[in-house]
Structure 1
Amino acid sequence: MKKGIIAVVVALTFALAASVYADKELPVYKKGDAVYVCACGAGCDCMTMSRKAGKCSCGNEMAKTTVEKVDAGKIFVKVEGKELTFPTKAKYACACGEGCSCGTVSQKPGNCSCGTEMKKVE
């Protein structure tokens, strides 16, 4: 019985550590941050967001805006008077490493705003 409890605790600890490590790969956006976002609207599922100008994963130019709020796992911005929401957890992120400051994230594969191919977040 004791070994079973210890095994569960160890497994939960590894799961928590893995999720915390995965989150470190993603940039953190907060209220007031200047960002570039995919402005295609609700019909587009790339949901690309970056700290630098560039193209979305869907190929369109990103629009410059400001983070209005961050709440319940979503980032809220306004583009041309319309509120858009982006998830705080992305499926893809810029793979340039620590020296890169573009902070590009997306729900679809593609290149980040600095030109490097994004990697899948695990």
Structure 2
Amino acid sequence: MDEVAVVIKHSRRLESLLRQHYHADGKGLHQLIDSCQKRLPNDVIGKLRFVATIRNKVVHEEGFEVDDLRQFVSVCKACEAELVPRSHRLIWRLAAGLIFLFTAGALWFYAQVWPQWSG
């Protein structure tokens, strides 16, 4: 993918996360950040502003190139990790743990009772 596509792809993902989970309103990433700034984690606001600035320069300035695309992508991924609600991960871990416990309990029960039933 070329640089412009990478920048737009990551910034769109951040925009959708802001709209979905933080109820942000606005056209661009800067407006979205402004509309939900009080609900955002403090350490992510500066990173989001950096992403928004780079995105605007790539789209609107002719011939602009990102100095370090890997750093930009890593900042975007860090922002995504901060913006995704942690409760989803907790719920999935809890569900997997419960399934494991029930399965282990059923195996233990059958190991204890099976010899009595079979013979």
Identify the TM-score tier after normalising by the shorter chain: under 0.3
Indicate the structure with greater strand content: 1
TM-score by length of 2: 0.22
Larger Rg over CA atoms: 2
TM-score by length of 1: 0.22
Higher relative contact order (CA 8 A, sep 6+): 2
